Amino acid sequence: MIRVPTLFLDVKRCKKNIEKMAAKAKRHGIEFRPHAKTHQSLEISKWFKEVGVTKLTVSSLKMAEYFSEEWIDITVAFPTNILEIQTINKLAKKIQLNLCVENIEVLEFLNDHLEHPLGIFLKIDTGYNRTGIAVDNYKLINTLLLKMSEQKFLTFKGFLAHAGHSYKCRSKEAIEAVHQKSKEQLLLLKNQFKDQYPNLIISLGDTPGCSVSENFSGIDEIRPGNFVFYDLTQNIIGSNDLNEIAVAMACPIVAKHLNRNEIVIYGGGIHFSKDRIEDPENGVVFGRIVEKKGESWGRCVPKMFLKSLSQEHGIVSVPKAIIDDYKIGDLLWILPVHSCMAADLMKELHTADGEVFSMM
Amino acid sequence: MIRVPTLFLDVKRCKKNIEKMAAKAKRHGIEFRPHAKTHQSLEISKWFKEVGVTKLTVSSLKMAEYFSEEWIDITVAFPTNILEIQTINKLAKKIQLNLCVENIEVLEFLNDHLEHPLGIFLKIDTGYNRTGIAVDNYKLINTLLLKMSEQKFLTFKGFLAHAGHSYKCRSKEAIEAVHQKSKEQLLLLKNQFKDQYPNLIISLGDTPGCSVSENFSGIDEIRPGNFVFYDLTQNIIGSNDLNEIAVAMACPIVAKHLNRNEIVIYGGGIHFSKDRIEDPENGVVFGRIVEKKGESWGRCVPKMFLKSLSQEHGIVSVPKAIIDDYKIGDLLWILPVHSCMAADLMKELHTADGEVFSMM
């Protein structure tokens, strides 16, 4: 019995999301190296093995350590943190570890401290402007390639980008445009360096682009992560339908305020995170309420949404006509705005069968 | 050695914050029942015992269970979640447990399922509009009091309010106004019911009001929580000086982008939470950088702030003139926007002496 906020996983939807993305990668003849930061679960990572996946992406060395129990080829898609050199050496000894580098300081540090071979991706910025080498900064790229060629433990693997500016899109067409622009920029790079490095990989990966596009020509590898669960953010961007969202939080109703058509739930920022979307219809939204249906959940209840969050309280706006359908002690089922953050906070995923998947 | 994002506690500042609030409560002759949701640490809760505190506030039954190892009088300042009746009975047997009630359904449920005596506070809404009984809804209050008087395990303790609308204030004067208004409303209630319930308690508690005001006449108990650490949110509200903030996150620098005067740190939403403030000078801010100083930290570096957060990345805006002072592999020290959320995420607090306080 559910007594406190609990994050539920719809296993069927999740496996369908995995199969769909794996099929797309296969159809286009590209490597599928899924990002594990959303599910952070060894168990769920095994579902990727079932569809032929052999390589993983993670966002921290801690996560790489966790997944190295099961996976032997892991890319850390985060700028290398040189303070964790001990962990890097430990992992580089155990598995095929690939790191992201974007400056000379890190290469020099690795040269001085590495004890085992590593793969290096140069992190490229195709317009997101979070981090990475500007895609046209050939001078820096050449400097780094030269430096790498002198270092015995470093193997240049290719160019890696995250087109995170796709998160600003609000339609499939806009996502496709960002995806194609990033792809074209990376292919220019590939053409420039392929004679020198014939095996170089172009690795691109964001859930919006990988969900929407059917044009990956020239791309060697994709690394989407969020698609495993999807969420309201991805839906508003245009990546997925609401019925593909594979996680929902069950929250007890603890109070009702009929005068303002609000329900108070046990479920706050420490469960959902404070991530929000701006919904054209409802304004700031922290989650949407779905109908409970069999072992899963059905459609979103129109105009019923999580309007604010404190540490443990959530305030749900409810249409006047249906507020009497909900009683104190009932559970509300809520789609999260950002499934990566909600899963990271909850630390475990429950299924309708009573199974519990522990996370990192 | 610090290698990954680490939350540091300045023990001196923290103890000073505790002593200052305890002294204020003593000066005004009011009970000090601090909220433990910010620190969530048994160790830190003992520092309150050192200044004479004997009662605690928490925000969940899980937190009540955790603190019941050390504390024998705990109020759960959250609408009672009837689905946790087993935990309620377990705790009510062990300690003096006080719950918040605001509707008849919960009282009736408790009547049917309680096995041990409980204290009940009626949760009153003095204008925050999150939850609670409207302060002038005497009809509902009378109904609930009557119901309680018929139930053998329930003892009416008093009226409890959280003037959370003080968080919208941006000056000490505005905070004082919210505090006084809430206090006056509660005193009307007290006058109305004191003949019938001579021992009833008026419990008010929000860090802004308790930090700023010196007027508590008629209030019997205060329950501030955040003041134990304070943070940038409380500072912008007007509750505290920046040098009273007792926690800072140490984050490794992993990349620099001179062309846009930005530093990339290992430290993201899973460390800080996505809570933000709107700073008149800098716009949206997720943290402010402080100078490292001896065993603690000093002033905020002007115009240097955390401007955005992904899951693990943080982007720091840095004045051009000083960006060369920071190197890859250095640590940045950052004051959090919301210390409750950052502490909840980090799960442990480190001190300069190498001590580690584990949390719930």
pLDDT tens for B254-279 read: 999 999 999 999 999 999 999 999 98
B77-86 core/surface letters (b: 16 or more CB in 10 A; e: else)? bbbbbbbbbe
**Chain A residues with CB inside 8 Å of B134's CB?**
259
* CATH number of the domain bearing residue B320: 2.40.37.20
CA distances from B324 to A123, A242, B251, B318 (A): 22, 47, 17, 10
Exposed, middle or buried, B138 (CB in 10 Å: 0-12/13-18/19+)? middle
Kindly give, in sequence order, each residue whose CB lies less than 8 Å from that of residue B35, ignoring residues fewer than 6 positions away.
Answer: B56, B57, B58, B59, B77, B205, B223, B224, B225, B226
- pLDDT > 90? residue A279: no
What is the rounded distance in angstroms from the CA atom of residue A292 to the CA atom of residue B56?
37
Name the residue facing A311 among B59, B79, B252 (closest C-beta). B59
Q: Quick check: A251 and A287 in contact, CB under 8 A?
A: no
Specify if B260 maps to a domain: yes
A116-145 core/surface letters (b: 16 or more CB in 10 A; e: else)? eebbbbbbbbbbbbbbbbbbebeeebeebb
- A60 and A129, same domain (yes or no): yes
- At residue A247, the pLDDT reads 98
- B222 and B270, same domain (yes or no): no
3-state SS string over B153-210?
CEEEEEEEECCHHHHHCCCHHHHHHHHHHHHHHHHHHHHHHCCCCCCCEEEECCHHHH
User: Among B167, B193, B228, where does a domain finish?
Assistant: B228
Specify if A247 maps to a domain: yes
- A257 and A181, same domain (yes or no): no
Beta carbons of B274 and A270 less than 8 Å apart? no
Name the residue facing A79 among B254, B270, B341 (closest C-beta). B254
For chain B, helix (H) and strand (E) counts, in that order, are 11, 20
- At residue B205, the pLDDT reads 87
- B180 and B302, same domain (yes or no): no
Residue type, B190: K
What is the rounded distance in angstroms from the CA atom of residue B139 to the CA atom of residue B180?
24
CB contacts under 8 A, A 105-134 vs B, are 105-106, 109, 129-131, 134
Kindly give, in sequence order, each residue whose CB lies less than 8 Å from that of residue A122, ignoring residues fewer than 6 positions away.
Answer: A100, A101, A102, A133, A141, A144, A145, A156, A158, A159, A160
- pLDDT > 90? residue B281: no
Going by pLDDT thresholds of 50, 70 and 90, the confidence category of residue A280 is confident
Say whether residue A310 is in contact with chain B using an 8 A CB cutoff.
Answer: yes
Specify if B118 maps to a domain: yes
Specify if B233 maps to a domain: no
Average the pLDDT over B40-55 and give the result. 98
Structural domain count of chain A: 2
- A51 and A119, same domain (yes or no): yes
DSSP H/E element including A265: strand A262-266
Q: Quick check: A264 and A272 in contact, CB under 8 A?
A: no
> What is the rounded radius of gyration, in angstroms, for the C-alpha atoms of chain B?
22
- At residue A40, the pLDDT reads 98
Kindly give, in sequence order, each residue whose CB lies less than 8 Å from that of residue A146, ignoring residues fewer than 6 positions away.
Answer: none
- A63 and A164, same domain (yes or no): yes
pLDDT tens for B191-230 read: 999 999 999 999 998 999 999 999 999 999 999 999 999 9
Specify if A4 maps to a domain: no
Q: Quick check: B76 and B64 in contact, CB under 8 A?
A: yes
Average the pLDDT over A338-352 and give the result. 97
Going by pLDDT thresholds of 50, 70 and 90, the confidence category of residue A180 is very high
CA dihedral B281, B282, B285, B290 (to 10 degrees): -80
The pLDDT mean for chain B works out to 97
- Residue count of chain B, please give it: 360
Beta carbons of B315 and A130 less than 8 Å apart? yes
ipTM, two decimals, is 0.97
- pLDDT > 90? residue A281: no
What is the rounded distance in angstroms from the CA atom of residue A237 to the CA atom of residue A175?
8
Give the ranges where chain A is alpha helix by DSSP (H): 11-27, 42-50, 61-67, 85-94, 104-113, 138-149, 172-193, 207-212, 232-237, 269-272, 339-346
- A203 and A304, same domain (yes or no): no
- B256 and B281, same domain (yes or no): yes
- At residue B35, the pLDDT reads 98
Q: What is the DSSP string of A29-96?
A: T-EE--B-TTT--HHHHHHHHHTT---EEESSHHHHHHHTTT-SEEEEEEE--GGGHHHHHHHHHHSE
**Chain A residues with CB inside 8 Å of B254's CB?**
78-81, 131
* Cα-to-chain-centroid distance, residue B305: 23
Average the pLDDT over A246-271 and give the result. 98
Say whether residue A257 is in contact with chain B using an 8 A CB cutoff.
Answer: yes
- pLDDT > 90? residue A147: yes
The pLDDT mean for chain A works out to 97
Specify if B4 maps to a domain: no
Backbone CA torsion sign across A65, A350, A312, B64: negative
- A221 and A247, same domain (yes or no): no
- A121 and A255, same domain (yes or no): no
Residue type, B301: V
- At residue B185, the pLDDT reads 97
Domain that holds residue B182: 11-228
**Chain A residues with CB inside 8 Å of B86's CB?**
3
* CATH number of the domain bearing residue A101: 3.20.20.10
What is the rounded distance in angstroms from the CA atom of residue B279 to the CA atom of residue B126?
28
Specify if A98 maps to a domain: yes
User: Among A228, A263, A298, where does a domain finish?
Assistant: A228
- pLDDT > 90? residue B136: yes
- B74 and B33, same domain (yes or no): yes
Give the ranges where B230-338 is alpha helix by DSSP (H): 232-237, 269-272
Query: Which phi and psi angles does A159 have, rounded to 5°?
Result: -110, 130
In three-state secondary structure terms, B83 is: helix
- At residue A205, the pLDDT reads 87
**Chain B residues with CB inside 8 Å of A4's CB?**
60, 62, 81, 83-84
**Chain B residues with CB inside 8 Å of A6's CB?**
none
Specify if B1 maps to a domain: no
Name the residue facing B131 among A102, A105, A255 (closest C-beta). A255
Q: Which chain A residue's Cα is nearest to B88?
A: A3
Exposed, middle or buried, B278 (CB in 10 Å: 0-12/13-18/19+)? exposed
What is the rounded distance in angstroms from the CA atom of residue B47 to the CA atom of residue B355?
15
pLDDT tens for B100-125 read: 999 999 999 999 999 999 999 999 99
- At residue A240, the pLDDT reads 97
- B212 and B246, same domain (yes or no): no
DSSP-derived letter for residue B35 is B
Going by pLDDT thresholds of 50, 70 and 90, the confidence category of residue B280 is confident
User: Among B178, B205, B228, where does a domain finish?
Assistant: B228
| Distance from the A255 Cα atom to the nearest Cα atom in chain B, whole angstroms | 7
Interface test with B, best of A110, A259, A273 (most B CBs within 10 A): A273
CB contacts under 8 A, A 47-66 vs B, are 59-60, 62
- pLDDT > 90? residue A83: yes
Q: Quick check: B307 and B320 in contact, CB under 8 A?
A: no
